[in-house]
A and B are shown apart, each in its own frame.
Chain A
Amino acid sequence: MSDYVLEAKDVTKVYEAGENRVVALSDVDLQVERGEFVSIMGPSGSGKTTLLTILGCLDKPTSGQVIIDGLDVTTTREAELPRIRAEKVGFIFQNFNLIPTLSALENVELPMERGRVSKGKRRSRTLKLLGSVGLEDKAGRRPNRLSAGEQQRVAIARALANGPAIILADEPTGNLDSRTGREIIQLLRKLSREEGTTIILVTHDRQMASLSNRMLFLRDGKITERG
């Protein structure tokens, strides 16, 4: 077994809509070590989000291989993918994507429902996570009663809920002011270190990217080490 927690080999994604054929990703190769904090930068339309959805098993590549924690998810049966998403991957989105009808606590608890964790353990883990993002006193609030920064912190706690191997963060600071954005990235880095989680951060903000261990650049569907 390799040391890489995440590997992408020759990943190509082509969107076809009638006559139009758009190559979103072209032979992308990527190796991420366990515990690493990698940022992927690139202008909008460069295929950043496409890459994240493929790495997070939300979509399949047209060709190529994605290996998460030693498991080739491109050949895995469709029915197995939800479990992999639940256990191996945590998502953080630009617009937080919390369920509006659920409280902060319920949102964080939600991914754990798919596992076989007892209700009591679920609750104590949820409270611990909310504590670590500094929201223990706002656990009962619904997203619309939280600030943008607080919402993103709930999303971080949710992404960490099942102790995933990797966290995929898609422009997590895009909707936050720079100070809050910085706080969020620092929190993410601190928690991933504590939990031993790998982070892949997609951003077009060089400042945020500079907080990572390694910066990669995506341009015209291809990955490079330098911008």
Chain B
Amino acid sequence: MGVLKMASRGIWRRKARTFLVILALGLSIAILTAIPAATQAYSSSVETAIENQSSAYQGAISMIATEITVGPPHSSGDFQGMPGFSTTAFMDENIAENIASIPGVDAVVPQFQRFLQLSSVENQEDQPFRRMNFMTIIGIPLNSSLDEKYSVQPSNIVEGRKLNEDDNRSILLGIELENYFSVAVGRSVNIGDYSFLVVGFFDAGNRFVNRYAYVSLDDAQAMFDQPGEVSQIRVFAESVEDVNNIANEIESTYGDSVSVTTQSDLLQRIPGLFQETENTVASQLAQMNNVASQEILIAIVAGGLIVFLTMIYAVRERTKEIGILKALGFTNWNITSQFMLEGGIIGLVGGLVGCLIGSFGAPLLSSVLLPHVSLPTGFSGGFGPLSSQLATQQLTAHVMPDASLILFSLGIAVILGVVGSLYPSWWASRKRPAEALKYE
């Protein structure tokens, strides 16, 4: 018959009350366990998401930023930024070879682009085609390593394949043109006097671009009878630092006979966009942490209060018993320690229950109790050409408290139990035995 036994008997005397107290304390401890686990998980998942996005951006940006577009003079009439839409001006293909020899140039991609009016509309029922009876022929060098590095051909192939190096008289069609020509992969399509083998269809997610048709540079030039002519030269520098030098070199060599465009303004906007995103995410996380710490504080105070009130009640209820124990020679410390042990046991059991609820219910608890965190969609919105590559990432956090957090919560629970019963047990031990005995 030790103090421990007395304490545990004291606890079990009021089973329903003990059950409720342990449940309430358990919920407090569950919050204490789940919320930090959730904030940790969300923070690290946001961090990972930002890292992933920024590395995707860095890759895309370095590709875009190193690109210089060389076109014929006054070719700025491009319709909605679609090269070749209204371009009638062309340049000598040899310029591409000369540019390729400028130091710092990694690759040169000459392109032949020509807008083509489709005089006869074969499919009368397709209303949009009567309004948009055109297509754009794009002639490109067929080089797979170049394509891999700089996406010369559209990447989203929905059927068939891209053009290969020896694909002469072959064509890669935008998906809008599939209906128009009523063709399938492996069949032939006649455009003007030329017949092409359809190797595949792509979907760029844009109705205009989906009316492009890619063929080899030679085929395009032959088709329009413009051998040795190109409408645009895409120049890729080895690094962003080389871009200005290369652009200056081209301009000084060809003067007004070409127009040179770089992405310098885009480069200037990038740090701002990153900063904006980081700020938005940081403020979301700060708000979440703020809510979390308030909830944790409330949980701790509530847990302590629950134990405190329970023990006050238990002490009042057992005032007479305290008197008896004193009459039997129990010291103040004997009595204090018994009630504190009771509080400690309640804390421990409540803590175990709480850790159990907290571990399994962490995802639910955190989704109910914490504000939602997501990466702003505007992050990729600033870059039209990049949006498909950089789809907004969904934040999936695996919320599971780790062992150290569980031990910590358990410790807090026991401390709450002991501290919550500190005053009640002290108060109990201070009762004068003669008065305590009279208490009914």
Residues of B within 8 A of A34 (CB): none
Query: A67-89: which have CB < 8 Å to B?
Result: 79, 82-87
User: CB < 8 Å: which of B1, B10, B326, B437 contacts A109?
Assistant: B1
A86–B329 touching, CB < 8 Å: yes
Say yes or no: is A53 at the interface (Cβ < 8 Å to chain B): yes
Query: A81-111: which have CB < 8 Å to B?
Result: 82-87, 91, 93, 97, 99-102, 106, 109-111
Closest to B10 in A: A101
Question: What secondary structure prevails in chain B residues at the interface with A?
Answer: helix
Say yes or no: is B432 at the interface (Cβ < 8 Å to chain A): yes
User: CB < 8 Å: which of A83, A93, A99, A109 contacts B329?
Assistant: A83
Residues of A within 8 A of B329 (CB): 82-87, 111, 114, 162
Say yes or no: is A47 at the interface (Cβ < 8 Å to chain B): no
A-contact 0/1 string along B1-22, CB 8 Å cutoff:
1100110011011000000000
Say yes or no: is A23 at the interface (Cβ < 8 Å to chain B): no
Closest to A158 in B: B328
Tell me, in angstroms, the Cα distance from A162 to B328 when the chains sit together: 10
B330–A114 touching, CB < 8 Å: yes
Say yes or no: is B327 at the interface (Cβ < 8 Å to chain A): yes
Say yes or no: is B434 at the interface (Cβ < 8 Å to chain A): yes
Tell me, in angstroms, the Cα distance from A93 to B436 when the chains sit together: 13
Closest to A126 in B: B1
Say yes or no: is A113 at the interface (Cβ < 8 Å to chain B): yes
B-contact 0/1 string along A101-133, CB 8 Å cutoff:
110001001110110000000000000000000
Number of A-B contacts (CB under 8 A): 68
Known A101-B9, A101-B10; judge A114-B437 contact (CB<8 A).
Answer: no
Closest to A105 in B: B1
Say yes or no: is A14 at the interface (Cβ < 8 Å to chain B): no
Tell me, in angstroms, the Cα distance from A98 to B9 when the chains sit together: 14
Known A102-B9, A106-B1, A110-B1; judge A58-B434 contact (CB<8 A).
Answer: yes
Say yes or no: is A33 at the interface (Cβ < 8 Å to chain B): no
- A-side residues, CB < 8 A to B, are 53, 56, 58-59, 79, 82-87, 91, 93, 97, 99-102, 106, 109-111, 113-114, 158, 162
Residues of A within 8 A of B321 (CB): 99
A99–B326 touching, CB < 8 Å: no
The residue in B328, B331, B334 that gathers the most chain A C-beta atoms within 10 A of its C-beta is B328
Tell me, in angstroms, the Cα distance from A86 to B9 when the chains sit together: 23
Top 7 A-B pairs, shortest CB-CB distance: A86-B329, A101-B9, A59-B434, A53-B434, A58-B433, A85-B329, A82-B331
Residues of A within 8 A of B9 (CB): 101-102
Known A101-B13, A111-B329; judge A59-B433 contact (CB<8 A).
Answer: yes
- Give the number of residues in B that approach A within 8 Å (Cβ atoms): 25
Residues of A within 8 A of B320 (CB): 97
Residues of A within 8 A of B1 (CB): 102, 106, 109-110, 113
Minimum Cβ distance to chain B for residue A24 (Å) = 11
B434–A111 touching, CB < 8 Å: no
Known A53-B434, A59-B434, A113-B1; judge A91-B13 contact (CB<8 A).
Answer: no
17 contacts between A and B (CB under 8 A): A58-B327, A58-B437, A82-B326, A82-B331, A85-B326, A85-B328, A86-B328, A86-B330, A91-B328, A99-B6, A99-B321, A99-B324, A100-B13, A101-B9, A109-B1, A110-B328, A113-B1
User: CB < 8 Å: which of A100, A101, A111 contacts B328?
Assistant: A111
The residue in A83, A85, A100 that gathers the most chain B C-beta atoms within 10 A of its C-beta is A85
Tell me, in angstroms, the Cα distance from A91 to B434 when the chains sit together: 12
Residues of A within 8 A of B434 (CB): 53, 58-59
Known A102-B9, A110-B1; judge A97-B437 contact (CB<8 A).
Answer: yes
Tell me, in angstroms, the Cα distance from A91 to B323 when the chains sit together: 12
Tell me, in angstroms, the Cα distance from A102 to B328 when the chains sit together: 15
Tell me, in angstroms, the Cα distance from A56 to B437 when the chains sit together: 13
The residue in A82, A110, A158 that gathers the most chain B C-beta atoms within 10 A of its C-beta is A82
Minimum Cβ distance to chain A for residue B31 (Å) = 33
Closest to A79 in B: B331
Residues of A within 8 A of B328 (CB): 85-86, 91, 110-111, 114, 158
Minimum Cβ distance to chain B for residue A100 (Å) = 8
B324–A97 touching, CB < 8 Å: yes
